[in-house]
Structures are given as C-alpha cells and as structure tokens.
Chain A
Amino acid sequence: MKKEFYNIAKLVTQNSKVLDVGCGNGELMKYITENISKDIRGIELSKSNVQKCIEKGLTVIEGNAEKDLRQFPDSSFDFVILSQTLQAFLDPENVLNELLRIGKKAIVSIPNFGHWKVRLHLLLKGTMPVTKNLPNEWYNTPNLHMCTIKDFENYCKERDIKINLKNLKFQNFFSELGIFILEK
C-alpha cells in the first residue's frame, strides 16, 4: 500500500464513520476496514474500480463525487477522505464545501506543485513537470486545478476552514504531497 494511505489512515479515529470519496480500487478502505473502522464506504466513478472494491467485500457506491455528495445529510460522517483527486474535479471548491458539510472532518491530500523537484523541472527544463506524483503529460493529465500547499493554505484561511499545517515553508518546498485535516 502507498505510504500516503498509512498516513491518511493514521488520522482516522477508531470505529468512526468514514466516507472515502474517489476510493479507487478500495485499497485504503480495505486497510481502514481491517484496522481502524468497519463503518466505512466509498464513492467511485470508474466501473472497473467499483468491481475491485466489490471483490474486496467493500461497500461502494458507483457515482460521481461532483454530483453525488449532495445526497448525504450534514455531518453524516466523522471523516470524509479525499485522496489526490481534488485537483481533478471541474469544481473543486464545490467538492470541498460538500466534504466539509457532510463530514465533521475532512482528510484531503493534494499533490504539491510547490515541491522543489517540480519547481526545478519547470525552471531548468522549461516544460511542464512530470514527477512520480504527477506522472502525466500536459495533454493527458486529469489534473485541472493544480495548486501548492501554500495555495491550499491560503484558500482555507480565506474561508475560515481550520487546517492542521505546521512548517508551511518547509512543507511547501519539501513535501511532494500535502495531507490535511480540515474542519469548518
């Protein structure tokens, strides 16, 4: 399992009610089910991934987070997880609002466009950065709204969203990935 998933799972409280938005093949959900909380379900767009979740015996709803989060009542989950998909939504602001509405807490991870390798790539090569976390070319990337950790912090500050972030400068330069707990 990806290291990111262990780090996300660590933030989830035992036996809490969890929604994994864009749960992929269910790897993280499976880990949380087996180790932290059985009360977890996911939403996933891709049919083949939905099948993989079902094979793992996970509760998954085939659907589109951009449209389908609105069916959940306010504060209906203790944690709502969004791993590295925020930047791929057409309207990430709406998705974030929905996460904070339906979840008491939201755990969000983003690929950090401010990482030094990304900066160096653009600076030296003059082409769009391709890294481990950003493996696609500009013409086939699903990422519509890239941001840096600093951008994301600014965004949260402006909207009074509580964000757990220490050492912003350090993280913005040295973290390939930002993982945050957000609260309204």
Chain B
Amino acid sequence: MSKFKDIKKIIVEKPLKLDCGQTINNFPLAYETYGKLNGNRSNAILIFHALTGDQFASGINPITKKDGWWNYALGPGKAIDTSKYFVIAANVIGGCMGSFGPSDINPETKKPYGTNFPVITINDMVNAQYNLLEYFKIEKLFSVIGGSMGGMQVLQFVSNFPNKALTAIPIACTASHSAQNIALNELGRQSIMADRNWQDGFYEEQNKQPDKGLAVARMAAHITYLSKAGLQEKFGRKLQERDDLKFSFDADFQIESYLRYQGSVFVDRFDANSYLYITRAMDYFDLTKKFGGNLSKAFEKSDTKFFIISFTSDWLYPTSENRDIVIALNAMGKNVGFVEISSDKGHDSFLLDVPDFLNSVKYFLNTSYKQIK
C-alpha cells in the first residue's frame, strides 16, 4: 500500500508456520526503532503493542500525524530511556500499519485478502517479530516490554525463546484470555460484521468501509479501558453543549459525545478486518494450553527476570490475573517482582501519565541495566 512506502520494514523470507496450519513467507514486517544500538548490542528492548497500537510508539506517527501511543513512557530521559536503550517496535502481523495484514493484496487474486487472510495468534505474532533479532544481529535482548495484548506477547516471547531476553515487563495482561474478555471482543466483532458495508470482509474491493460497525466496536471497547470511577469523575452526568435534556437520541451527555468522537476518529486509522483478526488472536491466547493447564511449565526453561505490573482500577485485565503469572513464576523459583499501581484510570493506565507506574518501569530497567554493565 502506497501510504506505507516510506516506513521501515523487513521482508521475512523464511517460511513461518502459523498455528492455523498455513505457512507464510516473503511477508512484510513493519517496524520502527528509537535510540542507538550500542557496540556490544546489549541495550536492545523489544516493545510489543496492544490491540490498536502500532510500531510508532514515540514521537509523531508519520501516517496518522498523531502522538505515538507510548509517548509518556518512551523517549529520551523517560521511563524507557531512548538515550540509553535501543528500542524496536514492530507492527503485529494481522495489523494495518504496514505489516502483513488482511488489507494486503493477495498475489494470487490481485485483490485484498479480506477474510481470506489466515487467522493468526499471539504465538504467530511473536514468532514473526523474532526475525527482527536476527535482522539486527541481537543475541540477547535487554528487555521485552508490553501492556495488554503487548503483555501477552511478552509472556509468549519469553516462553518461546527462554534465553533471549534478560528482563521482561508484562503489564496489565493475562496468561489466558477470560470469558469476559472473549465476550467483549465478540461484541466488537459482531458490531463490525453487522455493518452492511462489511461485505463478509471484502469491503475494500467494493470501495466500501464498515465505519459504523468499527466505530461501535471501538466505543464499546473504549468503555472497558476506563474505570467507573474515572468515567464518573470526568463526565458524571454533564450535558454536551446544552442546558437541558433534548428528549431525543442526540448525544445529550458528554460521555455519549466523547464515545462517538472516539469511534469516529478510530475508523480513520484502523482497518475493520485487522480488528477482527487481532481480537481473535487475543481470544485464542492461552499460554497454559500447551502445558496441560500448568502456567509454570511455560516458563520452566526461562532465565529471564520478570517485573509484572497491574493497576487497581483495571477490570479488563485485573490484578488477580496478573498475580496468577507471578504465582506461576514463583512456583518455578523464577526471579519475579510484582507491583499493583494505584490508579483510577482503568486498563488505559499503562498508556497514561501515571507517575508510580512510569517510575517503577524506570527503576527496574535502570537497576537491571547497571547489573549487566
């Protein structure tokens, strides 16, 4: 796609066998880097993005012209200090920011894949991104870091490549997607599919966009990223540019107007089919499955030092699910730290200016980095 022609990408030539059984090769993996790789290649951090994130974690996203999604955490002098570390961030496969995804053209049909794109998993995403280590000739990463779906990728990465990361920071995530989260994702997918413009996933070749469905999916999801207290404090029952109720279905309340806005800007930057594929990958995520339900076994061979972080008001990936990872690691005698950060900003806390969180990441990385120097 032409809008992605100036962004960085590697073409992965090696065949990658996906969990669904299909094999892909010669596929693009779009990435961005921040900071400089040091002489002995020991300061590299791989960042994994969440559902609607991308490789442009910091600075200005050149495609959307918006701020990078992790500007609070990532940059020179910040928690993930790019004046010290070399940070690599890739767009997941299945995504829509230049990596191999459902809006790519299928060479056989000369049309976008649409729903003929293979169903991918978190495992597939991580295996695809592993190629970046080879590309940059990095023997061992200093750290792997990610929140939400990014945290799931962190866990999967460490499990797949037990001696490739010195440290790992999974944030606000889970080792096994819960029924509630599958339900919420299904709500989003059904909303997209119910849009007449979705056309069974082949909307692009008909020059249509299921914007309404995608916007509703985003609105519903956005609620789950916040907390009740946070919503109440910010919006309460405040009315939107009016003195009284209008006795109509306009956006009377500020929260309605806010959600509509969030939905409308989202469709400009995100592909509906990517939304389907990536939420599916999250739903399929269960790190315990391969290990007979025993999460500890997933980390048996790992020598990585973990630091797990959750947030008090995150009801989407609650502390209890993050703590399960801690318990599994402790049961194997692994090196793990854990902190639950107080915040009323819900699941989104990891993307926002939450000083205790940002400081925790900073101190952990600083200390760990001193130990290798």
A: residues with CB less than 8 A from B are 41, 47, 50-51, 54-55, 57-63, 68, 71-73, 76
Residues of A within 8 A of B356 (CB): 51
Residues of B within 8 A of A73 (CB): 331-333
Contact among A51, A55, A58, A61 for B336, CB-based, below 8 A: A61
In the assembled complex, the CB of A137 is this many whole angstroms from the nearest CB of chain B, namely: 29
Residues of B within 8 A of A71 (CB): 326-327, 330-331
In the assembled complex, the CB of B79 is this many whole angstroms from the nearest CB of chain A, namely: 12
Q: Nearest 10 CB-CB pairs, A to B?
A: A57-B367, A71-B327, A59-B337, A61-B338, A71-B330, A54-B363, A62-B339, A54-B360, A76-B333, A50-B339
In the assembled complex, the CB of B226 is this many whole angstroms from the nearest CB of chain A, namely: 22
Q: A60 vs B337: C-alpha distance in the bound complex, in angstroms?
A: 5
Q: A12 vs B203: C-alpha distance in the bound complex, in angstroms?
A: 68
Number of A-B residue pairs having CB atoms within 8 Å of each other in the complex: 56
Q: Given contacts A54-B360, A57-B366, are A47 and B335 in contact (CB under 8 A)?
A: no
The A-contacting residues of B in range 236-281, CB under 8 angstroms, are none
In the complex, residue of chain A having the shortest beta-carbon distance to the beta carbon of B330: A71
Residues of B within 8 A of A68 (CB): 327
B: residues with CB less than 8 A from A are 305, 323, 326-327, 330-333, 335-340, 342, 356, 359-360, 363-364, 366-367, 370
Q: A72 vs B334: C-alpha distance in the bound complex, in angstroms?
A: 10
Q: Do the beta carbons of A60 and B359 come within 8 Å of each other?
A: no
In the assembled complex, the CB of B304 is this many whole angstroms from the nearest CB of chain A, namely: 13
In the assembled complex, the CB of B233 is this many whole angstroms from the nearest CB of chain A, namely: 20
Q: A152 vs B342: C-alpha distance in the bound complex, in angstroms?
A: 38
Q: Do the beta carbons of A72 and B330 come within 8 Å of each other?
A: yes
Q: Do the beta carbons of A61 and B331 come within 8 Å of each other?
A: no
Q: Do the beta carbons of A61 and B326 come within 8 Å of each other?
A: yes
Q: A115 vs B326: C-alpha distance in the bound complex, in angstroms?
A: 41
Q: A72 vs B367: C-alpha distance in the bound complex, in angstroms?
A: 25
Q: Do the beta carbons of B331 and A72 come within 8 Å of each other?
A: yes
9 new A-B pairs (CB below 8 Å) besides A51-B360, A60-B338, A60-B339? A51-B339, A54-B360, A57-B366, A62-B340, A63-B338, A68-B327, A71-B331, A73-B331, A73-B332
Q: Do the beta carbons of B340 and A59 come within 8 Å of each other?
A: no
Q: Do the beta carbons of A62 and B338 come within 8 Å of each other?
A: yes
In the assembled complex, the CB of B270 is this many whole angstroms from the nearest CB of chain A, namely: 35
In the assembled complex, the CB of B311 is this many whole angstroms from the nearest CB of chain A, namely: 12
Q: Given contacts A47-B342, A54-B364, are A59 and B336 in contact (CB under 8 A)?
A: yes
In the complex, residue of chain B having the shortest beta-carbon distance to the beta carbon of A60: B337
Could you write out 23 A-B pairs with CB less than 8 Å apart? A47-B339, A51-B339, A51-B359, A51-B360, A54-B337, A54-B339, A54-B359, A54-B360, A54-B364, A55-B359, A57-B363, A57-B367, A58-B337, A58-B367, A59-B335, A59-B336, A62-B339, A63-B326, A71-B326, A71-B327, A72-B331, A72-B333, A73-B331
Residues of B within 8 A of A50 (CB): 339
Q: Do the beta carbons of A61 and B337 come within 8 Å of each other?
A: yes
Residues of A within 8 A of B364 (CB): 54, 57
Q: Do the beta carbons of A41 and B335 come within 8 Å of each other?
A: yes
Q: A53 vs B363: C-alpha distance in the bound complex, in angstroms?
A: 10
In the assembled complex, the CB of B170 is this many whole angstroms from the nearest CB of chain A, namely: 14
Q: Do the beta carbons of B363 and A47 come within 8 Å of each other?
A: no
Residues of B within 8 A of A59 (CB): 305, 335-337
Q: Do the beta carbons of A55 and B331 come within 8 Å of each other?
A: no
Q: A71 vs B364: C-alpha distance in the bound complex, in angstroms?
A: 23
Residues of A within 8 A of B366 (CB): 57
Q: Do the beta carbons of A41 and B333 come within 8 Å of each other?
A: no
In the complex, residue of chain A having the shortest beta-carbon distance to the beta carbon of B360: A54
Residues of A within 8 A of B367 (CB): 57-58
Residues of B within 8 A of A55 (CB): 359, 363
Residues of A within 8 A of B336 (CB): 41, 59, 61
Most B CB within 10 A of own CB, among A57, A68, A72, A73: A57
In the assembled complex, the CB of B81 is this many whole angstroms from the nearest CB of chain A, namely: 15
Q: A5 vs B364: C-alpha distance in the bound complex, in angstroms?
A: 24
Q: A38 vs B337: C-alpha distance in the bound complex, in angstroms?
A: 14
Residues of B within 8 A of A51 (CB): 339, 356, 359-360
Q: A50 vs B340: C-alpha distance in the bound complex, in angstroms?
A: 9
